Structure 1
Amino acid sequence: MISHTIRPLSAETWDAFEALVERHNGVFGGCWCIYFTPDCAERGQSYEGNRALKRKLIETGQNHASLVMIGDEAVAWAEYGTPDELPNIHHGKQYRAEADLIPDYRVTCIFVDKRHRKKGLAKAALQGALDQIATHGGGIVEGYPHEIGEKRMNNSFVYNGTRTMYEEAGFEFIRPKGLRNTVMRRTVAAAT
């Protein structure tokens, strides 16, 4: 794995995050990783509108992510938050109908700079999110990774990593969600 550090996404690291997103045309067509937020109704209004919303959410402490840094450059992130902060998940109707509990936190999006893929940085971003959740008191954490079959999937469809990656990070498979998504869960102890 490439040498890196993990930092929380905050007003102090915004410029590095912004540069990473801009290198990738706003990520997923200008989303700026706001799809899962309560204000995602504003999504699609404009590239600049999505950027402004993301910045507002970060500056007001309503959106969280672990940033993987190589020097001063952000090269990956894992977005996490409470279900109130990140209520919009794919296959939400099915998820709610089959839910046996509401987690304390969700990991909703993992992204790696195209120049640094296949170097273990998605795993590092996920672990960074789990470590940051521990500093916030820990709790039950869910992720919604993809089942990867024999056929290669476009990276755009693997926005939250793979089931194998989550299993390696200590998550337990709970159930399928949609056609190729899963519900994975683990408990994170509070940092001491």
Structure 2
Amino acid sequence: MSEITIRSLTSETFDDFAALVERNKGMFASCWCTWFHPDDREPDGAAEDNRAFKKRRVDEGIAHAALVYDEDLAIAWAEYGTPEELPGIHHRKEYLATAEQLPDYRITCIQVEKAHRGQGLASVALRGAVDLIAQAGGGVVEGYPHDTGGKRKKNSSFLYNGTRTMYEREGFTYDRPKGLGNCVMVRKVAPTDS
């Protein structure tokens, strides 16, 4: 790898994100990282595909991600946003029943292109999301990684939001379990002085 940088997902970087997703066959059955968003498609716009749906949300400023670049090639991302932007978390009913309050931001999905896995880029993407959240004013941030007990029990293709161990290394603390094999990790992120 050459120089690794982080850029925010915007209208200007969407084509880089799209190329990454297309190289990886849409990621998880052509999800395009839309599963966690509310489905606010118009009733007659049901045919709007996930790519177009994601592009529209990015253009409207209601879809966020930290894109990890190797020079000019996007090779990973971490999706983040407010609970209103990303309400569709797994085990939502259980999560809401045990939540004392909602966070300011959620990190819902971290993906690394298959050819670049095993190089610590999921952690880079997570740090990138935290940095972008700090630039946006910071706040309480939650992530919902797999709690593997420190062992790699799953193929990395199915660790869509990393592991508890990775979050702990990045300054998050364990809050509670969520569903079977996942957990809620929390970190207070200070705003960046600008």
**TM-score interval, smaller chain:** over 0.9
Q: Normalising by the residue count of structure 1, what TM-score does the alignment of the two structures yield?
A: 0.93
Name 2:169's counterpart in structure 1. Answer: 168
| 1:37 counterpart = 2:40 | no
Name 1:178's counterpart in structure 2. Answer: 179
Whether the 8 Å contact between 1:16 and 1:74 is mirrored in structure 2 is yes
Seq. identity, %: 58
1:146-189 per-residue CA deviation (whole Å, 9 max, x = no partner) reads: 01254631234210000000000100000011110000001000
Whether the 8 Å contact between 2:3 and 2:71 is mirrored in structure 1 is no
Aligned-partner SS, 2:49: helix
Separation in 2, partners of 1:181, 1:152:
13
1:108-137 per-residue CA deviation (whole Å, 9 max, x = no partner) reads: 000000010010110000000000000110
- AA matched with 1:17: F
Cα 1:133–1:85 change in 2 (3 A) is: same
Name 1:107's counterpart in structure 2. Answer: 107
Aligned-partner SS, 2:192: coil
Kindly state the Cα deviation for residue 81 of structure 1 after the two structures are TM-superposed: 0.2
| 1:83 counterpart = 2:83 | yes
Cα 1:65–1:171 change in 2 (3 A) is: same
Cα 1:117–1:40 change in 2 (3 A) is: farther
Separation in 2, partners of 1:130, 1:78:
9
Kindly state the Cα deviation for residue 40 of structure 1 after the two structures are TM-superposed: 7.3
* Alignment: residue pair count: 189
Name 1:19's counterpart in structure 2. Answer: 19
Separation in 1, partners of 2:92, 2:67:
26
Q: Normalising by the residue count of structure 2, what TM-score does the alignment of the two structures yield?
A: 0.92
Name 2:118's counterpart in structure 1. Answer: 118
Please, which runs of 5 or more residues in structure 2 have no aligned partner?
A: none
Aligned-partner SS, 1:186: strand
Separation in 2, partners of 1:118, 1:152:
15
Cα 1:165–1:40 change in 2 (3 A) is: farther
Separation in 2, partners of 1:66, 1:140:
17
RMSD of Structure 2 on Structure 1 (CA): 1.7
Name 1:148's counterpart in structure 2. Answer: 148
Name 1:134's counterpart in structure 2. Answer: 134
